[in-house]
Structure 1
Amino acid sequence: MSYECSPNEYPKYRPNNMVRVPIKVPWKRRLETLVVMVHSTSLILFTFLYFFLWCFPILWPVMIIYTVFFYLFDRTPVNGRSPSRYSSFIRNLGIYRYLSSYFPITLHKTVELKPTFLNKPVEKYVYDTSLRYILPEMLLSVLSRLHIIQKKPKMIQERVRTGPKYIFGYHPHGIIAMGVTGGFTMEGAGISNFLPGIRCFVSTLINQFRLPFYRDYLMSLGVTSVTKQNLKAILKQDYSVLIVVGGAEESLYSRPGLNSIVLNRRKGFIKLALEMCGSSDHPITESADDDISLVPVYGFGENNIYDVYYTNGEPTNENDGYLRRFLKFLQLWLKRRSGFTLPVVISRGLFNYDFGFLPFRRPINVVFGRPIPVKRLFGRKPGDAVTDKEVLYYHKLYVQNLIALFEENKEKYLAKWDKSLNIVE
């Protein structure tokens, strides 16, 4: 077993000499490392590609069209239209299996989640021509009046609303929430088969959509912005969303062995669920216990894939104390200014195990908790203003469910050096 991937014995020291990757490594492991490296640098690669293409005058018309209509004036990540940019083809690329198997990332259920939608056979009258796939409805109607084409009854598969939509709360954030990336935005771990009938959009900071080409890559994977109005628009269409509740601030508590999360002050996702009760574009055709549910999700091992210079820790000497305070100030300042922060990570490289930017091969087990049906309380009805009393009630219930989820699964998925769940803020 290599230096990087011991599941039960976390190294308490770093070796004095460089630990190189063995020469005789199976090609599958090489490919896994390559895919993780490419994805980890995709922000830089896509942005570089955008500027590189401007070097070819023949591509300028295409680049101008993209820049004007798909970059500068495109509001898709914030106006609830992200489903239109969702690409099953991109998400199902075979290379993503290697990203998930690198750690590996594995999905687990506590209970079955009821599908939001099911495909059911419905008889409908449709135009008896393949032109219906390419011509607008108005033109098809004209052709029908001219008796060139006609409508005929046909059994088709139609998406029917059968259950609640979900707000998944993911914990902990870790350095880059790799459990979310490999578990939710790609099919490498089999999320569509794992949650049939539930299409989930992952929310992230709006800043990530300010980079050309990279923004399109994110949207194709089902990633959208975490702005409130955008999430409300997506939920109104009866899609589910995932929110990394602790946010960038929680990444500062990321360290191997720790399970520290930021939750006490995070109540916005609870209020969002209450506001969206009874708000739907599709009525439920079958009996359902609720219109929207909260689901706690915990990524066991998320904090273990990077070694971190922990700025919240106790200094070992006076100089170390100055350095920690300076880095802590810099991280918090960066978070206030830009919405994200930069933990100081010490990880592995392509050809060595003791220095670089790639995550270690340590397992991430993503466990889904029991759904919490959200209904209006204390005499309030859908559409009424949300009260603090309702928010506090569901927040307390959510915390209890998350703690229960952690306690029920820690023996199965935590190493012996991992600590218990700690809600620090």
Structure 2
Amino acid sequence: MIDTLRKVFSKISDLLGVEWAPLDIPMSRRLQTLGATAWICLALFGEALAIYLFIKLVYSDYWWLAILYGYWMLNDIEICNKGGRTFEFARNWSWWRYFCDYFPITLVKTADLDPSKNYLFACYPHGIFSSGAYGSFATNGANFPKLFPGMSAHLIVLGGHFLVPFFRDLILALGLCSSSQESILYLLDPKRYQGNCVAIMVGGAAEALDSHPGKYKIILSRRKGFIRVAMKSGASLVPVFSFGETDVFRPIDNPENGILRRIQEKVRVWTGISPMFPLGRGVFQYSFGVVPIRTPVTTVVGEPMEVKKNLEPTSEEIDAVHAEFSKRLTELFEREKSKYLKNHEGIHLVIT
């Protein structure tokens, strides 16, 4: 009877094109899958769940706690622009180790950084959810403290995330800060901090729309704000590239000028967030779901590029630094791609 049911189940799975995970997978890999599942659930549903819990608290017998928290949050609202509030114990959670080991996410250093200086990490590509940058710079799961002793990492995200109760406290604990110019300049101020590595996803939400497996199309030509910030602060620019980032999900095809792409662009303009559909695998099967695909992501930190401090840079000066950075990023990609990409000969960096 059991054998018959297994055969029927197998035939149905074959007809539906579902490939199930084996039952004898080691516990370590199951924990890694759990870590990746928890991460994508946090990214997709974390803010909605936090808002729901806050509303439930408001309408409960403990409504006074919601009022106290709300009052404290309003008085704490600018912390995301004032250096944040990192707790190393949160960055060291075992969950993050399992998450990074799932792909795995590997952080690679190509040059030593001076702990007495601050650095602006210009990270590419954005991908769907920037898993490489998140694992490398928002957690210690990829061994950032060991590779860069004496340095502190801060991943930059949209300021709107810090308006969500409870959720804001988690991302603040992980070292995340707002993407405002005020916030980044504060973190890079040598009078306040030394050894800060401020990681910014330069391409942003717009670049996520061009994230497709095996392709590396990035937005850089019209992105010059980060150059201006680096010049104003005098912080060195560091090109960072996550090889394999675009292979983590299989998004729906959205050609330029197509209906889906136009809808995505409008939503992005209204909300600042690109409505992507993260098609990956499931928890117990490999064929469909929102869990990221288990594929290596290697985040390579390039050599720092010294930037002369200039509080009032001209357009020509910004363009010159931008051109040099673009050159260095391209060189980093071409030099390292053979180590981390399959069929690398046919893969090229497309800069728009």
| Structure 1 counterpart SS, 2:55 | helix
Q: CA deviation at 1:66?
A: 0.7
Q: Is the 8 A contact 2:86 2:175 kept in 1?
A: yes
Query: Are 1:219 and 2:219 counterparts?
Result: no
Match among 294, 309, 316 for residue 237 of structure 2: 294
Corresponding residue for residue 328 of structure 1 = 261
Corresponding residue for residue 269 of structure 1 = 226
Cα distance in 2 between the residues matched to 1:171 and 1:418: 20
Give the AA of the match of 1:50: F
Corresponding residue for residue 69 of structure 1 = 72
Corresponding residue for residue 5 of structure 2 = none
Q: Is the 8 A contact 1:174 1:250 kept in 2?
A: yes
- Counterparts of 1:182-193 in structure 2, within 5 Å, are 182-193=135-146
Q: Is the 8 A contact 2:121 2:238 kept in 1?
A: yes
Q: CA deviation at 1:256?
A: 0.5
Corresponding residue for residue 347 of structure 1 = 280
Please identify runs of 4+ aligned residues in structure 1 that moved more than 4 A: none
Aligned length: 331
Q: Is the 8 A contact 1:259 1:419 kept in 2?
A: no
Query: Are 1:199 and 2:132 counterparts?
Result: no
Cα distance in 2 between the residues matched to 1:306 and 1:183: 18
| Structure 2 counterpart SS, 1:346 | coil
Q: CA deviation at 1:244?
A: 0.4
Q: Deviations over 1:321-349 (max 9, x none)?
A: xxx72211111001110111112332111
Q: CA deviation at 1:310?
A: 2.2
CA RMSD of aligned residues (A): 1.9
Q: Is the 8 A contact 2:81 2:177 kept in 1?
A: no
Q: CA deviation at 1:77?
A: 4.5
Match among 369, 372, 377 for residue 302 of structure 2: 369
Cα distance in 2 between the residues matched to 1:197 and 1:222: 15
Give the AA of the match of 2:133: V
Cα distance in 2 between the residues matched to 1:45 and 1:180: 24
Q: Deviations over 1:239-275 (max 9, x none)?
A: 3311101000100110110011110001101100111
Corresponding residue for residue 304 of structure 1 = 247
Corresponding residue for residue 9 of structure 2 = none
Cα distance in 1 between the residues matched to 2:270 and 2:342: 36
Q: CA deviation at 1:419?
A: 4.6
Corresponding residue for residue 396 of structure 1 = 323
Q: CA deviation at 1:54?
A: 3.9
Give the AA of the match of 2:66: M
Q: More helix per residue: 1 or 2?
A: 2
Query: Are 1:103 and 2:103 counterparts?
Result: yes
Q: Deviations over 1:82-113 (max 9, x none)?
A: 1xx21011111122110000000001111222
Q: Aligned in 2, Cα 1:417/1:352: closer, same or farther, shift over 3 Å?
A: farther
| Structure 2 counterpart SS, 1:168 | strand
Q: CA deviation at 1:21?
A: 1.6
Query: Are 1:405 and 2:348 counterparts?
Result: no
Give the AA of the match of 1:69: W
Query: Are 1:30 and 2:33 counterparts?
Result: no
Q: CA deviation at 1:196?
A: 1.1
| Structure 1 counterpart SS, 2:251 | strand
Q: Deviations over 1:47-89 (max 9, x none)?
A: 34333444541x322221111221x44323443141xx21011
| Structure 1 counterpart SS, 2:217 | strand
| Structure 1 counterpart SS, 2:53 | helix
Q: Is the 8 A contact 1:77 1:230 kept in 2?
A: no
| Structure 2 counterpart SS, 1:344 | coil
Any unmatched runs of 5+ in structure 1? Answer: 1-13, 117-163, 278-291, 314-323, 377-381
Identity of aligned residues (%): 34
Match among 58, 63, 66 for residue 60 of structure 1: 63
Q: Is the 8 A contact 2:282 2:288 kept in 1?
A: yes
Corresponding residue for residue 257 of structure 1 = 214
Cα distance in 2 between the residues matched to 1:408 and 1:168: 18
Cα distance in 1 between the residues matched to 2:276 and 2:15: 22
- Counterparts of 1:48-197 in structure 2, within 5 Å, are 48-54=52-58, 56-57=60-61, 59-70=62-73, 72-82=74-84, 85-116=85-116, 164-197=117-150
